[in-house]
Amino acid sequence: MSISKITANVSAVAIDGKALLIEGGPGSGKSGLALALIDRGAGLIGDDGVRLTRNDKTVIVSPPPNISGKLELRGVGIVELPTAEAPLSLILVIDDAAPRYPEAIAKRDVLGQPVPVLPFHAGDANQALRAEWALRMHGLSF
In this predicted structure, the answer to whether residue 80 has a pLDDT above a threshold of 90 is yes
Domains by residue range for the chain, with CATH: 3-125 (3.40.50.300)
In this predicted structure, the answer to whether residue 109 has a pLDDT above a threshold of 80 is yes
Work out the pLDDT band at 6, boundaries 50, 70, 90.
Answer: confident
The pTM (predicted TM-score) of the whole model is 0.93
**2-6, 68-72, 95-99, 128-132: least confident range:** 2-6
Sequential DSSP letters for the chain: --EEEEEEEEEEEEETTEEEEEE--TTSSHHHHHHHHHHTT-EEEEEEEEEEEE-SS-EEEE--TTTTTEEEETTTEEEE--B--EEEEEEEEE-TT--SS-SS-EEEEETTEEEEEEEE---STTHHHHHHHHHHHHSPP-
Work out the pLDDT band at 26, boundaries 50, 70, 90.
Answer: confident
pLDDT for position 58: 94
Q: Mean of the pLDDT values across residues 20-31?
A: 92
Work out the pLDDT band at 9, boundaries 50, 70, 90.
Answer: confident
Work out the pLDDT band at 1, boundaries 50, 70, 90.
Answer: low
Residues 6+ away with beta carbon under 8 Å from 131: 20, 22, 33, 36, 37, 92, 120
